[in-house]
Structure 1
């Protein structure tokens, strides 16, 4: 998930998700001499997905030890799976107030001086003569736009950290706009609304829904969950972290390093279960999930079938929750599996004409996941747009660089999502690669030269063919499985087929021969050997 952020480097620079842009910018500071960059953030605060998503029960679904920066491990997380507030505002550093994390990291590394809030990128166009980007920025804040509503920046390198999950997806249901009660998307939560004793309908039963439904059920007079397809669910076994655990992690750093390495190895063991159709561990997890569900509804066997997916475990994100099934089991909570026909002015009508009236409808319907950068117009070499480049399918070399736009990079781009562990493991590897590319451009500029880098078309095609061939053999490609990982034509645009460690190893060096080089500084790179940049996976930097 990500918020709107772009990063611009050289003359300046821009990004779009706090986890991604924080790592990218910090890595830029640590690995290159440049300090001449700008971070353009559409929102008005640091936090990205953890600032945008503030619905009740919002929490991380990856282990806390992996869902944090390798260079800024926090020893005193309060829970196994931290909540939104803790991820946004708790810090790992002794010299940062103990009520900050992402905001504290941004402060500790001095990122605020580079950030321009309430700024959204409308268009970026490559200038082939000057080998620079021209970026049109709209000022979206009410106060800020009083003085200037739009301006243009130039930059030598452009980075998108928009990510894959930043634009809320609204369901295509007839009559949605006609509802006269309160309606809100889970990613646009309105805490001003009084939820006490309300009749609530929730559309969706995915990762967000299983977090928000138990919280809403605590105060609602009646709650109805509209389920399109069931999901595989396992127990999260969340718990508080003991004082002894915090002490060991805080005062004996090797314990923390070793724990992170162990967590990395444990999650990699789940890769086979998530990907391989014949995995014995996958079958065991399936049995555990079925047993867990049935034990929650011992007196309601009629729910067993409707809560059991008809697709293999792993082809969608496996959901982990401790309180979703207990919430469904409550007397005032109903599970509705009939297809929705329409939304009326007072409620929701199903295909058989039955209607339920609500005070509030919650849209837990996720995000636009396959439309990468669809709201930003980007034109690369010879005015070629990203839209035209991707008309046959979204792809990028290692999920980071695209064949036409020179000096352009992406964080959490196509085919870099993971279905079984923390995506930060991928973002850190991507950032090291981009910092190396940026460093080459900066070095050329310091010598009075110009440099433009873009992956060769044949390299991009070979890489994509190899990835898609692997994806076709694993569970993501199951024809009976509908997920946000796929485009309408069945192409898997979002996920990486291998282990996170495998991706980090693949990204551990920059092979300059994979890039088409232009500009007066090209001679220095044409015969340059690969640059080894290492793997950021477990040990301290």
Structure 2
């Protein structure tokens, strides 16, 4: 594969080199043989969130058997729930295998993207943020036919808006910007946040700090983490027995899909089972600390917030050198934290912010202008992000996004969503290119505003009937007005099926090839994009029944043969 022939001109510009950006590039390269691609990445390599989040204890909550691309499955993860370093190693191996390093430009960021109505192409300003490239110039412009945002929902760390923070003399670091060169050993540390990230950090750092203060606003819904080391013989069998590994992946898929009811339907048996698991864990691990039991008890439905999966968080809170503070943080001082209702300032040396990300800004710091110079603020009034099927925005032509609005899952692997999106967008890009080529002209396509609005309204109606909308808690996928802009209401399979069809009548078009586009749509308005089927069609019981039935039929046939065989001679 060759790199793009022109440094400042390309067919497709992809912003972001995490799982989404990689999936998009690989789909275009392998299925449609489009090689004129440039990937712009702010950091120094592939990996996205798994490169950024290097805090102690960072790991995945999805089974390792399911947490890899369908087209590049990893069979030899060492644990059932893989750690950050092993996932990052896998992603860099995939990038190497598909030669993505040849089209990637690291330590570069995108600030400005403008659609040219006359030229019908994107003009993107790229800032060179580091490395030797910065010695030659600090910015340049790339012109492209298409732009794909693979920034995702979890890229911009959320700050900590608290009076006095600027006066603090100690060390402050966000969980997604962990300073590995800084030692917290024997220091007095406070961590703000009690979500999944904090639940991974707290047990690790409590072992070496002098004292740890955990600042909790809302307790997490905690269930056991069923993680174990996978022995070598199991990894060997997965690697060399394709039917076995396919079955293991399919069962993992089925299990996670069942989990959907637990986090969306508060009155379901699965939600009750989650409550029982949480209550059992509290009683078992904090039975000797009734004071802590009351503090960590969630008072909302399972699924209202992201579920915390851990075995050692509760026991860590009971350590002698750990305090759980539930009082409101009044202010930060030069040397500590002042809690509301407590006169004494909690002295600390280090403040860790496990406060998550700015999840309502789906395009990071990108300044985008679409048709007629319309800005994203004008397209999304009030900052409420709306995209048709989560991947395309009205009045933003030849633009796609992965892991966009209302595509987040709280029960299954996001790779399932991302692959479906990359398949759909790549198929659309290919058809647009074919129409342009047939006319030797230009073509710009974008979703109709009324169709996008109808899609969004339907989603909100469904989402308001899920546990995500429970008013008893706040979450990173729900705005202050209750609008849920991040989550998808259905299962992963439901979303995959949504993207199996491209309804071209839902799109507007302009350009010299627009007339052909209209004619083609009238002939074939629906384009099918086959999804990756990973679920198991048959349960273990069904397989056993079929096997027993086959065995019984074989025995019967054998008996019949023994009876009729002598008659042949």
TM-score by length of 1: 0.94
Which residue in 2 is equivalent to 1:437? 428
Aligned ranges for residues 447-526 of structure 1 at < 5 Å?
447=438, 448-522=440-514, 523-524=516-517, 525-526=520-521
1:206 Cα shift?
Answer: 0.7
1:14 Cα shift?
Answer: 1.8
Is 1:410 the counterpart of 2:401? The answer is yes
1:10 Cα shift?
Answer: 5.0
| Preserved contact between residue 485 and residue 495 of structure 1 (Cα < 8 Å) | yes
Which residue in 1 is equivalent to 2:357? 367
Q: Which has the higher helix share?
A: 2
Aligned ranges for residues 139-178 of structure 1 at < 5 Å?
139-178=128-167
Of 373, 376, 385, 1:383 maps to: 373
Aligned ranges for residues 27-426 of structure 1 at < 5 Å?
27-89=27-89, 101-352=90-341, 353-392=343-382, 393-426=384-417
1:232 Cα shift?
Answer: 0.5
1:480 Cα shift?
Answer: 1.6
Deviations 1:296-339 (A, max 9, x none): 11111121111011111111111101111121121111111111
1:9 Cα shift?
Answer: 9.1
Question: What is the CA RMSD across the aligned residues, in angstroms?
Answer: 1.5
Which residue in 1 is equivalent to 2:18? 18
| Preserved contact between residue 155 and residue 364 of structure 2 (Cα < 8 Å) | no
Which stretch shows the higher mean deviation, 193-202 or 403-412? 193-202
Alpha-carbon distance between aligned partners in 2 of 1:406 and 1:288, rounded to the nearest angstrom: 48
Secondary structure of 1:487's match? coil
Alpha-carbon distance between aligned partners in 1 of 2:150 and 2:45, rounded to the nearest angstrom: 16
| Preserved contact between residue 234 and residue 319 of structure 1 (Cα < 8 Å) | yes
Change (3 A) 1:9 1:209: farther
| Preserved contact between residue 317 and residue 420 of structure 1 (Cα < 8 Å) | no
1:13 Cα shift?
Answer: 1.2
| Preserved contact between residue 175 and residue 343 of structure 1 (Cα < 8 Å) | yes
Secondary structure of 2:61's match? coil
Change (3 A) 1:495 1:17: farther
1:444 Cα shift?
Answer: 3.3
Deviations 1:402-423 (A, max 9, x none): 0110100000000000111111
Alpha-carbon distance between aligned partners in 2 of 1:212 and 1:264, rounded to the nearest angstrom: 28
Change (3 A) 1:109 1:9: farther
Which residue in 1 is equivalent to 2:419? 428
Aligned residues: 522
Alpha-carbon distance between aligned partners in 2 of 1:243 and 1:64, rounded to the nearest angstrom: 15
Alpha-carbon distance between aligned partners in 2 of 1:229 and 1:212, rounded to the nearest angstrom: 17
Alpha-carbon distance between aligned partners in 1 of 2:335 and 2:183, rounded to the nearest angstrom: 18
Which stretch shows the higher mean deviation, 403-412 or 368-377? 368-377
Which residue in 1 is equivalent to 2:552? none
Which stretch shows the higher mean deviation, 436-445 or 108-117? 436-445
1:142 Cα shift?
Answer: 4.9
Secondary structure of 2:381's match? coil
1:173 Cα shift?
Answer: 0.9
Alpha-carbon distance between aligned partners in 2 of 1:443 and 1:452, rounded to the nearest angstrom: 13
Change (3 A) 1:539 1:252: farther
Which residue in 2 is equivalent to 1:4? none
Secondary structure of 1:202's match? strand
1:60 Cα shift?
Answer: 0.8
| Preserved contact between residue 274 and residue 419 of structure 1 (Cα < 8 Å) | yes
| Preserved contact between residue 168 and residue 366 of structure 1 (Cα < 8 Å) | yes
Secondary structure of 2:251's match? helix
1:354 Cα shift?
Answer: 2.5
Deviations 1:178-226 (A, max 9, x none): 1111111111111111222111111111111000111101111111111
Alpha-carbon distance between aligned partners in 2 of 1:336 and 1:124, rounded to the nearest angstrom: 45
Alpha-carbon distance between aligned partners in 2 of 1:446 and 1:155, rounded to the nearest angstrom: 16
User: What 5-or-longer segments of structure 1 have no aligned partner?
Assistant: 1-7, 90-100
1:165 Cα shift?
Answer: 0.7
| Preserved contact between residue 253 and residue 535 of structure 2 (Cα < 8 Å) | no
Is 1:533 the counterpart of 2:529? The answer is yes
Alpha-carbon distance between aligned partners in 2 of 1:537 and 1:367, rounded to the nearest angstrom: 32
TM-score by length of 2: 0.89
Change (3 A) 1:46 1:482: same
Secondary structure of 2:11's match? coil
Alpha-carbon distance between aligned partners in 2 of 1:366 and 1:139, rounded to the nearest angstrom: 27
| Preserved contact between residue 151 and residue 364 of structure 2 (Cα < 8 Å) | no
Alpha-carbon distance between aligned partners in 2 of 1:64 and 1:16, rounded to the nearest angstrom: 23
Query: Which aligned runs of 4 or more in structure 1 are off by greater than 6 angstroms?
Result: none
User: What 5-or-longer segments of structure 2 have no aligned partner?
Assistant: 1-7, 537-569
Alpha-carbon distance between aligned partners in 1 of 2:358 and 2:417, rounded to the nearest angstrom: 21
